[in-house]
Structure 1
Amino acid sequence: MDTREIRWAEAMRAERVGDSMAYEAFLREFAIFLRRLVETHLRRTRFGVAETEDVVQEVLIAVHSRRDQWDIQRPLLPWLNAITRYKIIDTSRRLGRDARMRIDLSEEEWARMFTSDCINFDHNLADAERLISELPRKEQAAVRTIALEGASTGEAAKKLGTSDAAVRVAFHRSLKKLMLAAQGRL
Structure 2
Amino acid sequence: MARAQDGDKDAYRRLLEAITPYLRALAARQIRSVDDIEDVVQDVLLTVHSVRNTYDPLRPFGPWLLAIANRRIIDTMRRRGRVGSHEVSVDRDLETFGAVEANLQEEAVDARVVRDAIEQLSAGQRDAVRMLKLEEMSLQEAAAASGMSIAALKVATHRALKRLRELLQQRGGKS
2:13 paired with 1:24: yes
- Match for residue 13 of structure 1? 2
Find 2:44's aligned residue among 59, 62, 65: 59
2:87 paired with 1:98: no
- Match for residue 115 of structure 1? 98
Return the alpha-carbon distance in structure 2 between the equivalents of residues 34 and 63 of structure 1: 12
TM-score of the two chains, using structure 2 as the length reference = 0.53
Return the alpha-carbon distance in structure 2 between the equivalents of residues 120 and 73 of structure 1: 70
State the shift of 1:100 in Å: 1.6
State the shift of 1:16 in Å: 2.1
State the shift of 1:15 in Å: 1.1
2:59 paired with 1:74: yes
Identity, % of aligned positions: 38
SS of the aligned residue for 2:7 comes to coil
1:145-156 → structure 2 map (5 Å cutoff): none
SS of the aligned residue for 2:30 comes to helix
State the shift of 1:116 in Å: 8.3
State the shift of 1:22 in Å: 1.1
Return the alpha-carbon distance in structure 2 between the equivalents of residues 62 and 108 of structure 1: 36
Give the alignment's Cα RMSD to 1 decimal. 2.5
Find 1:39's aligned residue among 25, 28, 49: 28
SS of the aligned residue for 1:42 comes to coil
Aligned length: 105
Structure 2 unaligned spans of 5+: 108-175
Greater Rg over alpha carbons, structure: 2
Return the alpha-carbon distance in structure 2 between the equivalents of residues 115 and 108 of structure 1: 15
- Match for residue 34 of structure 2? 49
Deviations 1:147-168 (A, max 9, x none): xxxxxxxxxxxxxxxxxxxxxx
Q: Which amino acid aligns with 1:76?
A: F
TM-score of the two chains, using structure 1 as the length reference = 0.50
Moved segments of 4+, more than 2 Å: 101-108, 114-117, 119-123
Relative distance call for 1:94 and 1:120 in structure 2 (3 A) is farther
